[in-house]
Amino acid sequence: MNASTTPDPSASAKLLGYGGLIPFVLLAFGAWFAPADWHPYIGFALLGYGATIASFLGAIHWGLAMRDEAAQSRQSLLVLGWGVVPSLIAWIALMVGLVAGSANALFVIAALLWVCFAVDRRVYPHFNVQAWLPLRFALTLVASVCCVAGAWGMLR
């Protein structure tokens, strides 16, 4: 592992992270307040965005493994393996969304975001990037609440 410690997220990283919540928030509101005939589009847009973010969270682990000085270590191989799991689950959620409706699949994405955070809480300290966990928590909280709120908005 790299012995250097990564500093707290920069102001730019925070701004981009919080800015990335805008589609979650707008689409969740749309699920509640847009006309019902828009719900399939809003739901799939929210599902697609959530799936994209989940894939991004997995990709971070590839970046961590690539900077690992012991790149062939068992730890790095596990991190690489985990890195593809969010993308695969998100892809399955997209397929479920097409067949069973986006609302059901949004619950899967909300849960996946929390699983990603739980893994990050264990992995980030090994790579000395635990300073990013408070930001990750806030982003996960808002994104997952928006997915659940959007699903409920479409099911009402």
The pLDDT, as a whole number, for residue 53 is 98
The pLDDT, as a whole number, for residue 77 is 85
Kindly tell me if the per-residue pLDDT of 6 is higher than 60.
Answer: yes
Average pLDDT over residues 2-6: 57
The pLDDT, as a whole number, for residue 1 is 46
Q: pLDDT (tens digit, 9 = 90+) per residue, 36-48?
A: 999 999 999 999 9
The pLDDT, as a whole number, for residue 5 is 64
Residues of the chain with pLDDT > 90: what percent?
85
153 vs 150: CA distance, rounded Å: 5
The pLDDT, as a whole number, for residue 72 is 64
The pLDDT, as a whole number, for residue 39 is 95
Alpha helices in 21-132 (DSSP H): 22-33, 39-66, 74-100, 102-123
Question: CA torsion sign, 134 to 136 to 142 to 144?
Answer: negative
Average pLDDT over residues 121-145: 97
- Please answer whether residues 24 and 50 qualify as being in contact, where contact means their C-beta atoms are separated by less than 8 angstroms: yes
Kindly tell me if the per-residue pLDDT of 126 is higher than 50.
Answer: yes
Q: pLDDT (tens digit, 9 = 90+) per residue, 60-114?
A: 999 998 887 765 677 788 999 999 999 999 999 999 999 999 999 999 999 999 9
